[in-house]
Structure formats: structure tokens, C-alpha cells
């Protein structure tokens, strides 16, 4: 069973989400195509991207309340 602490530690914070939304799709794709972009430093964390997943990630990124996420995992 996964405890709530491990779930919460993996969730992206609202400030991190706001920072990530400032990155535009064209910038991500341009840097990835040049081979210059594979890890983005987000606060204290580093987020790794694979070229083929960038566009998919940008279109599917959703934020759910913690209570919904906890219910889905159980």
C-alpha cells in the first residue's frame, strides 16, 4: 500500500506548475531537436524530458486534488 506521504512527495506543486506553464511548446521542441535540452531544473528538482514525450506531456498535463489521487491509487 502506498502511503499519503509518498504520494504527496511526488506531486508537482502549484508554483512548480506555474513555472512549467511558462515554457512554450516551441521552445521545448526547439531545444530538444538541437540536443541541448533533456533536463529542466524546476526549483530544487530536475525534470527529464524525452523528445517524443514533450508534446504529449504538454497536452495531457492535469492537476488533480490530492483526495482524488489518493482514491485512484487505493
Tens digit of pLDDT for each residue in 10-66? Answer: 676 777 766 776 666 667 667 666 766 566 666 666 666 665 666 566 556 544 444
The domain tally of the chain equals 1
How open is the CA angle 29-45-74, to the nearest 5 degrees? 100
Question: Which residue from 10, 23, 17, 12 is spatially nearest to 55, judged by alpha carbons?
Answer: 23
The domain of 59 spans 4-73
Residue 13: predicted pLDDT: 73
Q: Has residue 69 got a pLDDT over 50?
A: no
Per-residue pLDDT band at 3 (split at 50, 70, 90): low
Question: Which residue from 19, 11, 64 is spatially nearest to 40, judged by alpha carbons?
Answer: 19
Amino acid at each position: 500500500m502506498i502511503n499519503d506521504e509518498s504520494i504527496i512527495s511526488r506531486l508537482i506543486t502549484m508554483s512548480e506548475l506555474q513555472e512549467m506553464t511558462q515554457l512554450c511548446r516551441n521552445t521545448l521542441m526547439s531545444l530538444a531537436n538541437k540536443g541541448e535540452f533533456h533536463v529542466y531544473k524546476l526549483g530544487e528538482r530536475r525534470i527529464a524530458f524525452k523528445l517524443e514525450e514533450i508534446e504529449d506531456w504538454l497536452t495531457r498535463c492535469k492537476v488533480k486534488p490530492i483526495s482524488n489521487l489518493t482514491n485512484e491509487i487505493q
